[in-house]
Amino acid sequence: MYAEGDLNYGVVILKMAWDDEQRKRLCELVGIIIGDGCIGKYMEGTKVHYVVGVCGDPKKEVQYLSKYIAALFEEFAGGKPSVFYHERALWVKTQKKKLFDLLTTEIGLRPGKKAAIVCIPHTILDQGWDYVKYTIRGIADTDGSVFTADKPGSPAYPSIEITTVSENLAEQLYLLLKKEKFRVTKRGFERKDGPTVYKVGLNGYNMMRKWHTEIGFSNPRKSQKLLEIVVGQGGFEPPASWSSAMHFWAE
C-alpha cells in the first residue's frame, strides 16, 4: 500500500519495553533522520566508526537542534552528542554504535546516501497512526515549511508543504495524510540540474488547524509561524498544549 517495496531491511517491532512516550519520541527521531539526517559507518585502519547526525539552519534553528534534537540523541544513544557548526550548518552528531544499530538493524533505516530512496519503515507504519504521526512531525520539522501566498480572492493563503526527492516518501505521506482525512496534494517538479522534487502540501486554515490538533510541530520556528497564521482565524485559539510547548522553549 505504501510503495515501500524492499528498500528497508532488518525490520523488527519497536521495543515493547519502552513506555508509550519513549516510543513516540523514537518515532519522531526517525522522522527527523528521514528529513535532515545522515547515518553511516566508515573504516579507519581496522576500526569501524559509526555516525548519526542531523543538520539545520545555524541561525534560525539553534534551540531546536541544540536543545530538542540533542536531547533525543542523548536519550537513545546513551550519551551526549556533539553540537557544532560546520560548512554553514549547525550539526548534532554522535558516534554511538547503540543509536546506529537502533536506527538501522532494529528500525530499518538504510545507512549511506538516502535522499532519493528514503521512506518510513514498516516498523513505524505497523504501529498505527498514533505513532506514525510523530514520524511525520519529525519529517515536517526538518523538511517542511509553513508559509502564506497571495492567491486570487485569497490573500495570505496558508500552506504547509513537505519537500523531498524521494518519490516513495512523497507517496507514503500523501496516502497516510489522505487516510486521516487531510485535504492533501502531491506534485512533482522536474529539474534540469538534479532529481525530480516532490512536494506534499496542505492548504487553507482548516488544514492548518487540523495539522496543529493532530500532528503539530516540535520545531519552534515552524510552530510559531503556524501560530501567527491561524490564531484569530475562524475563532481558533491555541489550546493549552500549545502554551506549554511555547513555555518549554522559553526556559
Phi, psi dihedrals of residue 232, rounded to the nearest 5°: 90, -10
- Tell me, yes or no, if the two domains 20-118 and 143-234+242-250 fold the same way: yes
* 218 burial via Cβ count (<10 Å: 0-12, 13-18, 19+): buried
Nearest alpha-carbon partner for 223 in 235, 201, 239, 234: 239
Calculate ∠ Cα 211-198-169, nearest 5°: 70
pLDDT at 33 over 50: yes
20-118 folds as: Endonuclease I-creI (3.10.28)
Read off the pLDDT of residues 180-235 as tens digits, 9 standing for 90 and up.
999 999 999 998 888 999 999 999 999 999 999 999 999 999 999 998 887 756 54
What are the sequence ranges of the domains in the chain?
20-118, 143-234+242-250
Architecture of domain 143-234+242-250: Roll (3.10)
Read off the pLDDT of residues 114-165 as tens digits, 9 standing for 90 and up.
777 899 999 999 999 999 999 999 999 999 999 998 887 778 899 999 999 9
CA 219 to chain centre: 10
How many angstroms separate the CA atoms of 199 and 49, rounded?
35
